[in-house]
Every structure is written in structure tokens, then in C-alpha cells.
Amino acid sequence: MTATPTLPTAVREPLTRRRRLSHPAAFAGIAAILVAFTAASSAPSPLYVVYQQLWGFSAVTLTVVFAVYVVGLIGALLVLGALSDHVGRRPVLAAAIALETVALVLFLTAGDVGVLLAARFLQGIATGAALTTLGAALVDLNPPHAPGRAGLINSIVPLAGLALGSLGTGALVQFAPGPTHLVFALLLAGMVLAAGVVLLMPETATRRPGGAASLVPRLGVPARLRADVLALVPVIVASWALGGLYLSLGPSVAVGVFGLGNHLIGGLVVTLLCGTGALTAFALRGHPTPRVLTLAGGLLTLGTAVALAGVQSDAVTLAGVGTVLAGVGFGASALASFGTLARLADPHERGELLAVALTIAYVAFSLPAVVAGLAATSFGLHATALVYGAVVVLLGGTALVAQRVRPA
């Protein structure tokens, strides 16, 4: 019997390594997966009006659909936020992609509110698991010659993804066939590509004990970082509360207050805020963090106030200008807050610290929006949008004051 020839270990190992993506290619691939997840998370927003027309459910039901996504997402952040620090980035990402695929299949086949609720809940879990792991992986893969690049990508890409998902869905609903199907088919194709990237990427986190213990929900911030994190809380809350207003009520305000029935415009409402934010984060990437935080608080306050004036006076242009100004504040907030956290955290702290920041962000994003959705049924969309916006103005002013009085 002839023995099967084998390669020496010294030869086999380089061949194995060559089958993995290089660090620059993996960094780009992880950024693309982050775009896909955030785009998928905002894609249903312009479709809510369509689902309401098809299935005839109430605004309260619409709020429940929004709420179950947030429950799944925040639950995943609390339970799974630190898991990749223990078991590795690749296993957690693979599981998140698989769960997101199931959710997209449910969206694709949904014929009633029950299936829509299940899809949105599973999508929330998948997104929560993915966001912290993708953010940590970007920091792990950050090129040495550009130490701030991971923080910049973590700031820009989620906003760009939210803008892309909302605008793309609005365009498909308005101009393409199968408005409740095509977008999810495209996103499914994106998840297949994402799975390929995860299969080929190098593992960037060293396995260490404590994976099971990390599943116990907790929000831990290392003592040395607590002052920095607390200083960022007001601006994170203000900016993401504004994002919740636009993603939950923005398309409905466009239809119900301004009478704009075009679905593309419904998506454009979100894109004006988030797209402007992404461009701002890129444009301000070299500016000092204290200056960026001050700009964030000021323009979140001013922009929201101008947008409110537009809603109150039924002036679409004024509301649009206010949205763009607030979007600049949103982008400045994301750049300064997530960029700071990416820079401060040690490798074994990255997943958990990003989970803390994202939990704060998504609680601010979701709870006011859920309350607003319920209030809209009793007090009307116009009054609810005005009160919600006034709260965001107050939060933005608080963030501005917090930065002004913070010791240098």
C-alpha cells in the first residue's frame, strides 16, 4: 500500500494562512458587513405604511412591531455583548448572520402581522449580536499606520447603512415590483456574501475562559473609563433619541403632516438625517474631540428646533433644513463618542464597552419612540412629533452644557 503523501507542517501552515483574508481585506469586509446589518435594520421603516395599508393594523400595532425589534436588540446587547471577547469574533458573527438570514426569509414570506413581529424580533437579536462584535473586530484589525480608522468606520458606517437601507427601500417600494419582497431578497444575497467574508477572515480575539459567565446580563465599564463614558452619555442619548424619532415616525410625518405620499420621500426623511451624519463624521475626522462634541450638542439642539418650526408651520423646506442641521450634529456625536470608546478600550474590553455604549444608544433610540407611537394614537401625529422634538431639543441643550462644564 502506498502512503498518501503529506506536506510538511512548515509548508501546510503557510498554505492555511494564505486561505485567510489579509488584515486589510478583512477590515474592508467587516465594514461591508456592518453596512449590510444596519441597512437591513432600517429597511422595514418605509414599508410600515405599506404593511398598514395591506393588513389594516393600527398605529399601536405598528409601535409594537418597532418595540419587539428593540427588545431583541437590547437583549442581545446585554446578554451577548461580551461573548466574542471570550469565544472569538468569527463564531458570534457566523451565528448572527445565520439568525439574520432566518429573519429575512420571514420578512420575504410574511403575510400577516404575526410573522412580521417574529421577523423583527429575530432581526433585533441578530443585529445586537453583530454590532458589538463587528465594532470590536474593526478595532482588532485596525491598520497600525492609521490608529483612528476603526473609530471612524464605527462612526460613519452605521449612519451610512441606516441611510442606505431606508432610501433604498423607499426607492424600491416606489419604483420596483414586489415592494415587500425585493428588498429582502437583495439583503439575503448580501448575507450570503457576509458569510463568505466571515468564513475567510482571520480570528482576531484570543479565546479565554468566562464565555458562559459573560452571558449574565450586566453593563460593566472599567473604573478607569467611567468618567469618559459618563461624559459621553448626554450627547449619545440626544442624538439617538433624535434618530428614533426619524426612523419610527419620520415617514409617517411625511405622509400625515406634510401630505407627501411618495414612498421615496419617506425613505429620504431618514436619509437626510443619517446620510448627513455619515458625511459629517467623515469630514470632521481630524478635528479635536472636545470641539466635535460641542458642535454635536449645538447642532442637535438648533437643527431639531428648526425642524420643529417646519412641522409647526407646515413648511417642508424648513423641516428639511432643520433635519440636515440635526444630521450634522448626529454625525459629530457618533464620531466623537464611538471614536473615543474605540481608542480608550483595551482588546479584552472592546466587545463589552461597545455593548454598553450601544445599549445606551438604543435605549435612547427606542423607548421614547415607542412612547411616541402610543401617544400618536391618542393625541395625533402632529402634536406627538412636536413634543418629542421638544424633548430632543432639551436633551441636546443638556449635552451642550455637559461638554462646556466638563473639566479639560
209 inside domain = no
Domain count of the chain?
Answer: 1
67 inside domain = yes
Distances (CA, A) of 322 to 73, 310, 389, 397: 29, 8, 11, 16
Q: Of 98, 173, 83, 189, whose CA–CA distance to 136 is shortest?
A: 83
Encode pLDDT of 292-343 as tens digits. Answer: 888 998 999 999 999 989 888 888 889 889 999 999 999 999 888 877 776 7
Q: What is the pLDDT of residue 261?
A: 65
Q: What is the pLDDT of residue 353?
A: 77
The domain that holds 147 is classified in CATH as: 1.20.1250.20
112 inside domain = yes
The secondary structure element, H or E, covering residue 354 is helix 350-379
298 inside domain = yes
Q: What is the pLDDT of residue 126?
A: 96
Q: From CA 47, how far away is CA 73, in angstroms rounded? A: 20
375 inside domain = yes
Encode pLDDT of 338-347 as tens digits. Answer: 777 767 777 6
Q: From CA 74, how far away is CA 254, in angstroms rounded? A: 28
4 inside domain = no
Low-confidence ranges of the chain (pLDDT < 70): 1-18, 59, 218-220, 251-252, 255-261, 263, 266, 342, 347, 350-351, 405-408
Q: Of 130, 142, 158, whose CA–CA distance to 26 is shortest?
A: 142
Domain that holds residue 162: 21-202+223-405
8 inside domain = no
118 inside domain = yes
Q: What is the pLDDT of residue 5?
A: 46
- Cβ contact 365:388 at 8 Å: no
Q: What is the pLDDT of residue 174?
A: 83
